[in-house]
């Protein structure tokens, strides 16, 4: 007797309900989270999502996916599962850890979103954490010597700042002056967004402790440098190369922080009364030469545009992770977008607020979702980032508040 045919599965709409994050801190012994555990930052984020949405029964969460680049110490031990338990979610809720370096949280979202579209999940929590003060990038790793000995990659590919210098070499028209101008504008846009309340509602206050100073409360990002000018940036040292172009001012710093979001099948979200912040359209990851990893967002974006049938002119808002200013400019130049285009990082970016590696993808998504709510004239937006060891990732989202051709 023949086995019964497997049921046909229709792809379901996946929605981004909402996202939150901790304030981002400076990595190191003087940073706000110097004596705070990485997993406790994730726990704070998950608990805040559940607090904000009491209409979501905790037992309805089907998966918790948490990314970390350095999966060691308090970022190890399958952090998605341990953070779920520590957050008070039922023990029936599973979890896992994920690593795609800077795009960890982005990959946590796309991976679990695929499960929702397929019907394996209805609701998930996805996010990321990086405590670069406790766990510097590369801590405890043992790269295979053949990577360099067999000339699979240039030795500079393993140092992110040097890869940014390589992008400058490849595209000499992306000058240090342009990068400094972009960086100063990022700081200015971020400061204005904080002042006007655009950035702030998504932040989760975090209790911090210090053996020297006692207890504190982190309520705002620590890295921003308000009042930054092109003149002050021009005077900074270039640590990756003598007379180079990459500085601490036109790149994101070393940071600590966590992010998280709720994703759901659209019908399930509406059944529970959860808001719909964005609708997933498509995503793509692409590989590039590791020594110029900063150009990764270009082929990833080309790939997802081709797969979704959209063009770059259809995108009304861009959230690009500012690992390095030169990497953002390479993307903008490729697509013919002006350095100061108001559609791009309108609330500033990682150069101002920080880039705790694996957590940043959900920061981009959370900001895009909040921008969509204010812009019913915009139908599509994208989040994109370069990824260490030569990759890029791009996710395209649709605005549920779009008002058609009005």
Residue with tokens 């992110």: 160
What distances in angstroms separate CA 370 from CA 87, 146, 283, 374, 399, one per listed residue?
25, 45, 20, 7, 10
**386 tagged catalytic:** yes
| Torsional sign, CA 274, 276, 280, 286 | negative
Q: Is residue 402 part of a domain?
A: no
The verdict on residue 9 lying in a domain is: no
Range 370-373, long-range pairs (CB < 8 A, 24+ positions): 370/198, 370/201, 370/202, 370/277, 371/317, 371/319, 371/346, 371/347, 372/277, 372/278, 372/317, 372/397, 372/399, 372/400, 372/401, 373/277, 373/401
Residue 3 placed within a domain: no
Q: Is residue 96 part of a domain?
A: yes
pTM: 0.96
Is position 406 within any domain? no
Q: What does the pLDDT read at residue 382?
A: 98
Give the pLDDT of residue 10.
Answer: 85
Annotation says 261 is catalytic? no
Which of these is catalytic: 102, 179, 261, 353? Answer: 102
Closest by alpha carbon to 185, among 357, 328, 39? 328
Predicted confidence at residue 405, as pLDDT, reads 64
Verify whether residue 179 is a known catalytic residue: no
Q: Tell me if 294 is assigned to some domain.
A: yes
Indicate which residue of 179, 261, 353, 386 is catalytic: 386
Distance CA 377, CA 144 (A): 50
Residue 175 located in a structural domain: yes
Report CA dihedral (49, 51, 54, 59) to the nearest 10 degrees. Answer: 60
Q: Which spans in 87-159 are helix H?
A: 104-118, 146-149
What is the Rg, in whole angstroms, of the alpha carbon atoms belonging to the chain? 21
CA angle 271, 117, 357 (to 5 degrees): 105
Predicted local confidence at residue 151, as pLDDT:
86
- Tokens encoding 28: 């190191």
pLDDT at position 2 is: 72
Residue 157 resides in a domain: yes
Low-confidence ranges of the chain (pLDDT < 70): 405-406
Q: Which run of H or of E encompasses 95?
A: strand 95-98
* Residue 297, domain extent: 14-134+153-396
Instruction: Please give the backbone phi and psi of residue 313, each rounded to the nearest 5 degrees, phi first.
Output: -70, -15
pLDDT of residue 317: 98
Q: Which pLDDT belongs to residue 406?
A: 54
User: How far apart, in whole angstroms, are the C-alpha atoms of residue 187 and residue 345?
Assistant: 11
Catalytic residue among 131, 353, 355, 401: 355
- C-beta of residue 17 within 8 angstroms of C-beta of residue 280: no
- State whether residue 361 is helix, strand or coil: helix
CATH assignment of the domain containing 266 = 3.40.47.10
The domain total for the chain is: 1
Query: How far, in Å, are 13, 86, 116, 145, 248 from residue 276 at the CA level?
Result: 11, 27, 15, 47, 37
């Amino acid at each position: 007797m023949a086995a019964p045919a497997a049921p046909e599965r229709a792809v379901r709409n996946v929605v981004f309900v909402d996202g939150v994050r901790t304030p981002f801190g400076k990595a190191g012994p003087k940073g706000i989270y110097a004596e705070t555990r990485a997993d406790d930052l994730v726990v704070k984020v998950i608990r805040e999502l559940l607090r904000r949405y009491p209409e979501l029964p905790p037992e309805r969460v089907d998966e918790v996916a948490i990314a970390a680049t350095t999966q060691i110490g308090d970022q190890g031990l399958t952090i998605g599962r341990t953070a779920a338990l520590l957050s008070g979610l039922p023990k029936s809720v599973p979890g896992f850890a994920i690593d795609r370096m800077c795009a960890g949280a982005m990959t946590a979202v796309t991976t679990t979103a695929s499960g929702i579209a397929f019907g394996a999940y209805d609701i998930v929590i996805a996010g990321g954490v990086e405590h670069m003060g406790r766990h510097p990038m590369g801590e405890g790793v043992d790269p295979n010597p053949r990577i360099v000995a067999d000339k699979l990659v240039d030795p500079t590919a393993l140092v992110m700042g040097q890869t940014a210098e390589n992008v400058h070499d490849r595209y000499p028209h992306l000058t240090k002056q342009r990068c400094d101008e972009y960086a100063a504008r990022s700081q200015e846009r971020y400061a204005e967004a904080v002042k006007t309340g655009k950035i702030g509602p998504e932040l989760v206050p975090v209790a911090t402790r210090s053996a020297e100073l006692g207890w504190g409360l982190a309520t705002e990002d620590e890295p921003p440098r308000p009042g930054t000018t092109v003149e002050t940036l021009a005077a900074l040292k270039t640590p990756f190369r003598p007379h180079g172009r990459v500085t601490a001012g036109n790149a994101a710093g070393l940071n600590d922080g966590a992010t998280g979001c709720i994703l759901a099948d659209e019908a399930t979200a509406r059944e529970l009364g959860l808001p719909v912040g964005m609708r997933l359209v498509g995503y793509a990851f692409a590989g590039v030469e590791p020594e110029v990893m900063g150009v990764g967002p270009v082929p990833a974006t080309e790939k997802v545009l081709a797969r979704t049938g959209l063009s770059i002119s259809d995108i009304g808002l861009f959230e690009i992770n500012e690992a390095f200013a030169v990497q953002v400019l390479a993307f903008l130049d490729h697509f013919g977008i002006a350095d100061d285009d108001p559609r791009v990082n309108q609330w500033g970016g990682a150069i101002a607020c920080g880039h705790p590696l694996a957590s940043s993808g959900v920061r981009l998504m959370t900001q895009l979702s909040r921008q969509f709510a204010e812009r019913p004239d915009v139908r599509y937006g994208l989040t994109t980032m370069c990824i260490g060891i030569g990759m890029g990732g791009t996710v395209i989202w649709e605005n549920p508040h779009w008002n058609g051709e009005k």
